[in-house]
Structure 1
């Protein structure tokens, strides 16, 4: 299978992976051949890319870090918990959150178990879904990235459980942000941005008052927008004043935010998201954590089309664990002319370099 921009889709192509609606229901099933009507619907729904089948990439596997069904179940559980307290004040909301704590712990425990069974590098792209209910999907995605980085840092299960809860609930304060601001499809003005920033304090107060959730979860919610150079919020903390868990969470949060579909822009592909993190390494983000994160998430996931410096174009077929930026590529074109496909291992060809990848925008 390979990844294709919806802008390039043609009638009759066959889906290799399902597409979900915002409630986790399958919008278009795998193996379906797309009609012109379906292609138009995908474009207007905000879907930027899809996985398709073709004879040249049939053997390429794209395995999610967490099985689709389990991830969608986690999304629906966090959605139910958030919505149960949405209309309550913080004190009563904390009480209702306590009633959900066992279920939330089970969600994190399930994600931990799945990740511990995976390879060390996650071959993962954000869900192929429309942009509604972003907060719930984002919460689960950030938890997956956070736990993957925690595993690389050799966290034990107890530590992974705590930071996982912090990640799962890091944006819970957004339930108190007016939806017209939260879902605005254009740039926020200063007043609106000030309101958005308050979600960190709402989340902290909500989690701090919980009798069953770890206090560190509250600090994750409070500090995940803090940056090493003091440019973050809500308190402008610097360097060592930021909790280590919040530093990890901040990286996962930014990466998922830029690689997910949003109401105001299309998703970036992973290599672009990692470029953003790299540009802030040592200034906004801990450089060691950024470098470790780059080894945790595939820079060029399986199925993505890449362009080489010598005019060749191909599709990533497999990752090289010890050379994260040099995967195995199935070459399909040379100087824009189709060729008999062959596999090229970039880890043993030092002259061949990836200079670009097809973006879904």
Structure 2
């Protein structure tokens, strides 16, 4: 099974992972054979990439959380954000907890329950390595993004052996880190194309708007509220909204900051395609200590799996290979099997990149006919 941009999917391809609509209902179940008209409909609902099964990638890629739990989490966040924005209008700030409607308090309660479910699901896994298996519609992008950031953040939190109460605060903060965007002017949220400089400055206020909105509710942990406020701050002091330096940013906020940028850079969008996995990690590593906390980046780069098993890649020898095994601690050096080469003797030969240091992965291949 491998993730392929929708424009590279050919008729008669087998769907590897079920597709869901914006309300969490199954549109197409895994295993269905995709016809030309079905592929066209997938494009129409703004799903940019799907998982497929072929003779080279028939192994299951397991999501770090159960698919049904992921969909439930997306719907929970969607209900909270969309209704909070509707109930509060523009830039609303509360003075007292009693000002919150019972509906809003119920949203916070449901988010807390969802955080516990996600944590328990991840902790029940034997190995907590990060290989995201998220297929998202752009119509649900913000909500899917929040769930992904929570999953990435938890994987990091577990690597740092945080106690469960801190994991709960981390997960809730990650799930609602962009809640301030629901309080931005609708004309900016719905704007097509590039934002003006003035609009960008307004968008940069979403951490403070979210924090002020949450400041009086008893249902959200104070650490979770700080994550909402600080997830765009930087250790070098050049972040926003307050330009805090590394000594004034809580560790949980630093974790969510890295998870946030990793998910953004790794995701296909209509305006830009996802960055190459090695480029995302290099971006994080090159900005460790300035944009991101150095120790957290170092740990993150040991637990992420940028090339899941079944990914078809081109290597610097010009050959095509399939990823057979990932190497813990060395995310860019998996074990490969050659499936296309000018030298027939090389077909099916294994290449351990951890040993073959002169060979590197140069790109992921989506269209391949052997």
Same fold (TM over 0.5): yes
Where does 1:106-185 land on structure 2 (aligned, <5 Å)?
Answer: 106-118=113-125, 119-125=127-133, 127-185=134-192
Deviation at 1:142? 0.7
Instruction: Using the TM superposition, name which of 175-184 and 71-80 deviates more.
Output: 175-184
Where does 1:13-28 land on structure 2 (aligned, <5 Å)?
Answer: 13-28=13-28
Distance 2:280 2:339 in 1: 26
Deviation at 1:95? 6.2
Assess, with a 3 A threshold, how the Cα gap between structure 1 residues 180 and 265 changes in structure 2: closer, same or farther: farther
Distance 1:99 1:11 in 2: 45
User: Does the CA-based 8 Å contact 2:49-2:268 persist in structure 1?
Assistant: no
User: Does the CA-based 8 Å contact 2:180-2:206 persist in structure 1?
Assistant: yes
2:93 is matched with: 90
The alignment yields a C-alpha RMSD, in angstroms, of 2.4
2:274 is matched with: 267
Instruction: Give 3-state SS (helix, strand or coil) of 2:34's partner.
Output: coil
Distance 1:254 1:13 in 2: 32
1:226 is matched with: 233
2:12 is matched with: 12
2:224 is matched with: 217
Select the structure with the greater relative contact order (CA < 8 A; seq sep ≥ 6). 1
Where does 1:305-320 land on structure 2 (aligned, <5 Å)?
Answer: 305-320=312-327
CA deviation vs aligned residue, 1:147-203 (integer Å, no higher than 9, x gap): 110111110111101111111111111111134422434221111111111111111
Distance 2:263 2:305 in 1: 13
Deviation at 1:72? 0.5
- The normalised TM-score by structure 1 is 0.91
- The normalised TM-score by structure 2 is 0.89
User: Does the CA-based 8 Å contact 2:303-2:328 persist in structure 1?
Assistant: no
Instruction: Number of aligned residue pairs: give it.
Output: 358
Instruction: Give 3-state SS (helix, strand or coil) of 2:354's partner.
Output: helix
User: Does the CA-based 8 Å contact 1:309-1:355 persist in structure 2?
Assistant: yes
- Is 2:79 the partner of 1:80? yes
Distance 2:281 2:271 in 1: 20
Structure 1, unmatched stretches of 5+, are none
Assess, with a 3 A threshold, how the Cα gap between structure 1 residues 356 and 245 changes in structure 2: closer, same or farther: same
- Is 2:352 the partner of 1:345? yes
Assess, with a 3 A threshold, how the Cα gap between structure 1 residues 109 and 261 changes in structure 2: closer, same or farther: same
Assess, with a 3 A threshold, how the Cα gap between structure 1 residues 4 and 301 changes in structure 2: closer, same or farther: same
Instruction: Using the TM superposition, name which of 68-77 and 115-124 deviates more.
Output: 115-124
User: Does the CA-based 8 Å contact 1:171-1:221 persist in structure 2?
Assistant: yes
Assess, with a 3 A threshold, how the Cα gap between structure 1 residues 293 and 154 changes in structure 2: closer, same or farther: same
1:200 is matched with: 207
CA deviation vs aligned residue, 1:243-302 (integer Å, no higher than 9, x gap): 211111111111112222435333335433323322321211112211211122212122
Instruction: Using the TM superposition, name which of 342-351 and 146-155 deviates more.
Output: 342-351
Structure 2, unmatched stretches of 5+, are none
Deviation at 1:93? 4.5
Assess, with a 3 A threshold, how the Cα gap between structure 1 residues 56 and 134 changes in structure 2: closer, same or farther: closer
Assess, with a 3 A threshold, how the Cα gap between structure 1 residues 310 and 199 changes in structure 2: closer, same or farther: same
